[in-house]
Amino acid sequence: MISCKDARWLLVTFAFATLAVSVGCKRDPSSARVTLPQGWSLVSADELDGARREQMKLADSARAELATRLMQRVAQVSQADGFSAAVEVCHGEAPKIAAEVAAKHRVAIGRTSSRLRNPSNLAPVWSEALFNEPGEPAIAVGPHGEFGVVHPIVLGELCANCHGAADKLAPGVAEILTQRYPDDRATGYAPGELRGWFWVEVPKSR
């Protein structure tokens, strides 16, 4: 079980990590080592026109809401019942929260990683190409007006309770991971390391 102070620190740490990767880097499309699906192209934020900027705002709003809701719920449950209970939240509630955010903002949205915990957290084909440059946000536009963006997720200190090295996992976490995710690959991270990505796809503006 974690204290109120720790719960608040969890949210602050996550928010700082998300902000840092969102504003800290700019990608130069001419130097990016990516291979996108046919019809898709990599763009920079400076190249976006009015319609694309609106799509970007929508993507950012959806991502921010998903991140906030997930972390608030994890912090709440961790504080009350420990981190093993938080694993149950990620297993049972996270997909529902993502679906609610997607429906509200009329986007497709999710989380993914090169080392998955939940095997259903697969990313769209267009986004996979953008992971060649880990640690940087990236934007791609599709052949039919689609707008896609990925944002890195950096592991926070308290997140190591569920995603850290074996000797850093909180009590009960290893056991519940074995039950819920027998093929789990999402441990062994250290705070500050790239854990995965948020991806958002916004349809053509109307």
Which residues, 6+ apart, have CB-to-CB distance to 103 below 8 Å? none
pLDDT (tens, 9 = 90+) of the chain, 206 residues, equals 444 444 444 443 444 344 333 333 334 433 445 588 999 999 999 999 999 999 999 999 999 999 999 999 999 999 999 999 999 999 999 999 999 999 999 999 999 999 999 999 999 999 988 886 556 789 999 999 999 999 999 998 888 999 999 999 999 999 999 999 999 999 999 999 999 999 999 999 86
86 found inside a domain:
yes
pTM: 0.82
By CB neighbour count within 10 A (0-12 exposed, 13-18 middle, 19+ buried), where does 23 fall?
exposed
Which residues face 25 on adjacent strands?
none
Domains of the chain: total: 1
Structural domain containing residue 150: 41-202
User: Which pLDDT does position 27 carry in this prediction?
Assistant: 42
144 found inside a domain:
yes
User: Which pLDDT does position 137 carry in this prediction?
Assistant: 84
178 found inside a domain:
yes
User: Which pLDDT does position 34 carry in this prediction?
Assistant: 59
175 found inside a domain:
yes
User: Which pLDDT does position 25 carry in this prediction?
Assistant: 36
